[in-house]
Structures are given as structure tokens and as C-alpha cells.
Structure 1
């Protein structure tokens, strides 16, 4: 009897289990983040999320045009599943997968058919003409060290089912069979099929080099994890020690307060006794005088009422003298005592402020290193200031909300309500909705200390005025000359295409400060967009026209000059790298591959002077402004017209030379008129919704919407970019 394969413990069951359905993978597919899930599970997950996020690492995923079916199959996992099934099939008592008989002896695996066969079926399998060339691996080979590497399914061409994939077309980046090299991928200028072994070896070498780079990085990260684990272990002891210290500190304060209370109460008692003794003495003296006068009164009254004439004459002089003496006597009937009271030398309200400074939690936060960014404020809209708490090294660091105080006052000095909100670890939002315009004051403290710049001046603007204006005419840093296209990069900052300076300049989205700038090629640069990787695309027409792609830092990466492009203006880059460009000479929009080759023309025969273009990928729609037709046209990406919005005029929903166009998250269409400078919003169906503002700067061209709800407008003759609050 053949010995058993290695035990099932040799497999990592979790590695073979889909984390969504918690079962063995069925048709495993690999996401770009290299996490694997069942194809069916991913399809269900994709219907619940837009955009799709990896269920494990939450990385946003851009699916291919084919959806989940376009994702790569994880053949390594498939091999392990096959190997696990083969192990189970090789156990005694398990029938052959071909003859279904429970036959003793060793079994073999056919990589082409993906089945496990007994010795007899293996012999027949090798003798059949159709399967004699199949790759069959014996049980002994599989049991040998490293045998699992010989255990695999062969890959066959989807088009030529009986053909194994043995070539790789380097031009198309795809695996092909021998038949494909004759029909669809014939060697030439467009195709370059190479044997898989050659290409795979080169790829293995490059991956091996990456593995060498990964190892030190892994060690660094693992050390960091251990350090964090150590700190986690110290977290509770640190809490307990700090708690004990705080309790001891406040107990001492309580003892001091109780001692002071007893001193005051004793002082009150002593004062009460002293005052009582004085008042008692006073009372006795007054009562003595009262008794004498009362006695004289009684004697005199008896003599007058009941005495005889003889008796009155005998005692009258004596009584008169006594009474006159008593009446003439100077008596001190006033007492010097007044009620004593407890005096609050320090008012409770004042003490309450002092109590705020009694103790605190000492963390790694350094108030002097903390930063506050105040975003442009508009009346009636939520205004957010952003606080980043940092340690002494200037690194973002977490603290508790009690360590932060933020107070806002309007121009009259009235407090404005705000509530601190944690945006992310170490980053806090201080929101408020200003009701009045004018200068507001924002006071921010961390650990009872002002952060640099606090209190801050926050100028609240009216709704119809720019919340922020960037630039002025010039060629220096932060200056602009003829800004046309404008876009928002992946960090939310504003990228501006300057015609006069022939450069791109990037501005901070919150402060308007110039971050960097770089020159661009082409005689007349016009449009700009930024892809999901932060690369910047610029169009230019005239001499040396084309589409140029730059790195985030401004290094020229590619120049596209396809024959189909003649006069490129506005452009939009899709998540998968495809591009949509409006072409004035072609009077159409061009949908291009990432390499610049034409997929299709859109709008031919319907557009007159296409200017700017934007794409709603969730609906597969593009929107283009036509300045001569005074309309906005909508097409799907297959080139089918959907609707045209607006007409020439100055009323709501009408256009006077529409140029810049962009979309909000709800799919609403935002358009700016060049002539009357109105910034208008239309629904996804092209129906007018509202006017945002009338642009103050001269000759508005491009527009873009920032993630935090501001519209940026490039003003060509105003040599500036104006920012308006949108939502």
C-alpha cells in the first residue's frame, strides 16, 4: 500500500479560505492590493459598494471594464486546493476519479485534466492519443520534497481551447498560445510574442530583487509592531499610575480645603462666643438701669395714686430727685455689634477657572508644535478649522479631547457654539456655522497652552463673494498669468494651468499658499487634469501640440501626439488611465487608451466648439461644454447622445459661452459662463437647479470642485483663482 501524502496540517487552512464566505475558495480572484476572494463573493460585494473597497484592507479598487470577471485568477491558490483534494483522494478507500473504483496502489495527477487516477487509468490515459502528451505526475513525485511545485493545472487559451498558453505578447502584456502567434499576435511592429520561460525568468529576477528590498522593510515594520505592543502592555500600568497620582493630588487638595473649612468654622465659633459675651454684658448693664427706672416709676405712681397729702409731701422731694437723677443719667443703649458674615475672598466662578489648571495629563503632545489650519469661512455654511496635535519631534500624535479647548467668538464678542470632532488619529475638526459676516476669533489651547497663532482671526464672507482669492498678475511664486485649466489633485490641492507663464502651479487648498510649480511644453497650454496616482496631464494646441503627462513633482513622463488629436483643449483622466479630450479642430471628444491610441470619437456632427469636458464614471457618462452652441452636451462613453442642456441667454438655466464644467458627488453638473460669469448647477438630467454665484474675476475659464465642498474658478483676465463655497 502506498504511503499517505503529508498530513492536512501542512496546509494553512486560513490561506485557502475566503474571508467573505469563510469557505474554500471557488474561482479565486486577486484584487490589485493582492488580497484574494471568491469571484462570486466579490461580485456580491461590488453590488453593495461604489466605489469598491477591498474587504480586508479597505483599499479602493478600480475594476476593469469586464468587472470582477476581468480580475486575475489566483492560480497558486487553485494549485493548493487541487493539491489538498489530491491528498484526500490518495487516502485508502477513496475511489479513482476516472473509474470510480476503490483500487489499492499509488495514484497519479494529470495537470491537463486536473484529476487523480489509479495506476490502471493512468496507463490507459497515457495510451489515448488525445491525452498521451498530458503532463502526469506520480504520487511519489508529489510526495517528494518540493513536490507541490510540480502540482499544477495547465493554462489553456480562451480562444483556442486545446492550445496551452506558451507565449507572452510583450506589446499586449498578455499570455497567448501558438495559434494566437499566427492569427492575433503575429510578430511585427504591433506584437512581440516571446516564450513564457524567457519572460517569466526575467520577471522572477525582478521580483526576487523586490523581495530583497522587502526584507529590511519587513524587519523595520516588525520591530515597530513589537515596540507598539510593548507600549500597549505599558498602557494600563501607565493609566493606573497616572490615576493614583491624580487621586493623591486631588486628595491633598481636598485635605487643604477641609483644613481651611475647619479653620473658618472655628473662627466663626470663636467670634460667636466673643460677641455673645460682650452682648451679654451689655444686656445686663441695660437691664440694671431698666430695673432702677422701673422701681422709681412704680414708687412714684403709688405715691400719686394712693398716697395722702402728708405722704406725698414727705416723700415727694425724694422721689422727684431720684427720678430726675435717673432721667438725667447718660445711658449707652446702643450695642456696637453687627452680624458677622462669611466672606468669599475668591469667588467660586473665579476658583472654577483656577481649578481648570489644577493638574493635567502630561502626554507627548507639545502645544508649541501643534498646527491649526482655518479653512475659508462663508456665512451660513459649516466652517471647519483643523487642529493637528504633535509631539516634540513634530510628528502627529494622539491626545484626549479633554486636553483640547476651542472657543469661537463673533465680531460682537458673543460665543459661537462648536463641538470638537476627531477626524483621524491626531487630527481634530473644530466646526461651526457662522451666522454673521465679519472677523471672528478662534482660541485654541492644548494642555491649557495656546497653540502657535492662537487666537486666530477668521474672516467670514458673504455667500456671493469668494471665500478665498488666490494669486495676482505676475510670474513669481504665488502669482498667475492667464490661468485657464484648473484641477484638484489627490491631496485636494489646486493645480492651475497658466497660459502666460506656460507652467503649472499647485496651491494649498486651505490657505492658497503656493506649494510648487513647474514649466510645461507646448506653445499654447490649455487644459489640465490629475489622475488617481497624482500624475498631472496637460493639453496644448498650436505648434508642438499634444497631451503631456508629468509626475507629481513636475518631471515630464510622456508626450502623446496621436494622429486623431489636432487641437486638444479640455481633458479628463479616468481611473483606469483612459483619457477623454475635447478637440476643437475635430469638433468632437476623443476617448483614448492610456497610451494615447484612439478608442472612439464622441459627438462628431453634433458639437461645434467643444471646450471643457468631465466624466461621471459611475454612470459611464461624459459632459462637454460647447461655447458656440451655448449648451452642455451629455454622451455615454459608447458615444451615444443622451441630452443637451440650456440655450443662449442670460436667464436662469441659460448660457452665454459656457466653458468650465465639473460634477459633484450627486452627479449634478456645475457650469460657468464665460460672458456673464454666472456659476450654475444642473441636475444629472440637465434640469436647472440653482445659481451658486456670479464670479467676480474677469473671464472665468476652468472650474473644479474640492473634496471639502468649494468650487475653484480660474479667471483668465483677472489673473487669479477664486474659490466659492458650494455645499
Structure 2
């Protein structure tokens, strides 16, 4: 029965027949475990026993077989494509006849029992020699119509067997399913490459702008202390170049890694699709194990595409505040790493604004007022951006725990009850609403207490909840409408949100981990105790606009600390150890931090260069 086969034009477009080392059609092709194939002679140039070598295409480490390169599996699939190429294009195929050895005769047919092509003379021999008459022989025309895919029936009843159609039907279906799943991963990789390239472009633009400002500062002061000016400019330029070189190398390596992953995935999918589209049943059965292993490994979590933090693309130049005449110090090239933080002031030390039990802290994005939840006084104390006391927010609060302020001035408060309390910009109580558990049970019905609060870049409120049965974060619009809920492993005592919409979860000081999750609740990273921290009981977290996470660590019997991390959980350094029983923490602006201290005044820290 005839079956439809692809034309040679489709096969010719496939890059599987070209050796990526010599860029010519492969000779004696060998297939590596990563599914890339190369000429035998080319592989011998790049792989030398004993040990292993790196695949020239995907950079995967390949162990050498005991027999060396010759021990790799032959790429029989390429040889079949080469045969089909001749059959599909000209209908003619000249190769050494495996029966008589003649090298100048056109191939006329293929014997399925001898598993080889025959010249016309050997076809006649098959018709005349009695033992060969029972062999199944197909002409080239019959092969073009798919006759070679038919399975010869097994005739020995004493053998247990299944037909290859039956054996490969499920295998082919599984390969198709894996290829379909890989398409989604391919899309993720494309997005990751695009976003990483955007970070690179953003970083280059920032570096160019910093260089421009640096050069302008140099020109303004060029007439004064020219020699010292040039020395300072050179030092800053070198520092900027060093930062740019290291960061660019990291970004380029990430892009290369993603591209290599995409190459591996594309190659595996190409091989699988070739088996699906043009492979015989024998091809499916022979390739099934290797294909499924590679396609499955490529979908495992460790090869999922990741995008570096936006903070990695931050670099700027801050001009010196000193007179250009008095000093030749132009300023300093700044990276998002290496900040030196100092205590600016303490707030809430006395009078009506005295803080007795500070827990949560928030900053109004418009007025830059500072809001601190006072556990002991059962109110929210409000200070201006310089720490001067302004007013108090009251409203039948039980035990104020955390506070958040939206861009339109609404104030949200949790007070260790089952409700979020909502106040207007002038402090008037408006309403309250419940959080919703993963099982659809409201916090007031489930006996939950609400703790951490934060607002994402879309203005939605994230509320942390904990009870005896589950811990979760409930997402709401500002009018209280429930959007979604995700489960957490630890009590969401305080919450932070990063520039990449990652959620930072800090428990009370009974848990020593900080968890970074995506918006669907998948755990991305766990922050553990920093190597230079004397004590580590993380309670609060906040995130800066340049992608840095700040975590406050509490220890009632000793000084705690504030520590900085990337959005991927990489430890950057200690901001300060000058805190006691630190709780909630918030950014006042890109240069300042405010931290609440239970039983002590709050503190504002700023960085110097």
C-alpha cells in the first residue's frame, strides 16, 4: 500500500546532514549523547582520549567511550537520509553493491532480508538462486512509495514477539508529546534571551550615560588643577570600565548559555521531528530511548531559563558636591553593589511620637511620609521623610502589625486579627476585608491571623496569613476584591516585592530562612544565614528599584543586622549591625532605609560614597 512521503526539498532544508565543524556534508557521522552529530575525522580532531571533551555546538561535557571516538554510535539516520536524497531527487542511486562489490553500477533495489541495496545484476541473482528467492526485494520506485516501512512477519512460533508497529506506536506518541512540551520551553528560552538582551541594552545605556556625565564633569573642572583632575578622571573611568567589563561578560555569558540551551533543544526537537515525519518504524524503535532521555532532561528544572536581575544592569555616576575650585574630586562611579551605609538618625524617641513596639513600616510613595505600626500603643505613627513626627493613625486597632500605603494614599493595616483595615489618606476608617485561603475559606471563618503586607507594581495588595492548618498569601484589589492565593512554607510575617514581581517572605524570628517566590507560589530561591552574620533571625524585607533585597535580622538579646541580596538570593554584604530587635524595613528612596525596632526607636540609614 502506498504511503505519502516528504519530498527531498524538505529533507534538504534540514541542517542535520551538515557537520558543524567542517561545514560540509558529514562523512562517517557519529552521534553524541547530546544528539549532535559530526564527521568521524572532525571529532578525532577535537576529542582526545582519555576523559571527556566539550560538544562544539552545545558545550555539554561528553565522556569518551573506552574505544575513543570510534565508540560513539553511528548516525545511521544520516545515511538513510543520504540514500533517500538520491532516491527522491533523481531516482538513481550509485554506491558499492554490498553483494558483488561493484562500484560503478546504479542501485536498482533493496533486499530487506540482506538489509542492503542491490545492483540490477544482483537482483537477477536473487531471482535465480533458490535460497535467495524467498527474500523480500523492493525496487526504488516501491521504496519511494514507502514499501520499506512494512514489517516482515515473524514466522518462528517458538519466539515471543510483538510487531514493530505495535511496539513503536506508543513510543512515537510519547516522542510527539515530549516535542509538544518542549515547544513551551523553547518559547520560555526565547523570552529569557530577549529579557537578558534588554538588561544588556539597559546596562549599556546606563554606562554610556554615566560616562557622558563623567566627561562633562571633567570638562567643567578642566581649567583647575588639570593634572589632578586627569588622574581622578582616569581612576573613575578605569573603575567604570572594570565594572562594565565584568558585568558585560556576565550578561554575555548568560546569553550564550541560553543560546546554547536553545541550540540543544532545537537540535533534539529537529531529530525527534525527523523521526516523526520521515522515520521508519525501525528508526523510531532505535531512537526512542536516546530521544526520550534527551527531551526529558531538557525539560528538567535545572535547565529552565533564568533571567539575571535588573539590578545587574544598574551603574551611574554621582557628581561630587564639593566646589570644583576647592577640590578636583569629580565624584565616584557607583554600582548597585558596594554601598556604605551609615546611621542618619533615630526617630520616635520621645513625646507623642515615641515608638514603644515598632513592627511594620511603610513609606507613602507620594508624600514620602513614614508609617510605623506600634504594637504597644495600638496605633500607626506617621513621620515625615526626615523623621519628624506628624500625626497618629487610630481606628480600633487590636495589635497593629504591618502597614502599606498605596499610590493614591490609601492606608492598609493588619492588626493580628482576621481582617485588613483600610483608611483614607486623611486617616479616616473606610472598611475592612478578609483574606482567602487556598481552599476558598475566608480568614475570619478559618481562624487565621493576618500579618505581612505589601503592594505590587499594579497596585494590588498582598496579605500574609497564618493559622494552625495553613500559611498563605492572599492577593486583593484595593477595594478588597480577592484575586488569587498562593501557599507558603513559612509564616508570612513580613513581605517584600521585587522589581521582577518576585515575592520575598520573612517569617517571625522562629524561622531562619527567607523565601523568594514567583507570583504563582513557586519557590525560586532560599536565603540562608550570611557567612558574616553573628546572629540570624530574619523578620523584615524590602526591595530597592535597582533590584536589591534588604533583609532585617532580629535578635532581642544581641545586635541584629541588615543584609543585602540580589533578586536571585545571592549575598551582597552587610549594610549595618547597628540595630536591635529589627522588624519591618522599607526604602525611603534609593539612598535611604528605615527600619522598625521592637521596643526601641526606629532608625534611618543612608549611604555615603
Please give the range of the TM-score, normalised by the shorter of the 2 chains: 0.3 to 0.5
More RCO (CA 8 Å, sep 6+): 2
TM-score by length of 2: 0.41
TM-score normalised by the chain length of structure 1: 0.34
Of structures 1 and 2, the larger Rg is shown by 1
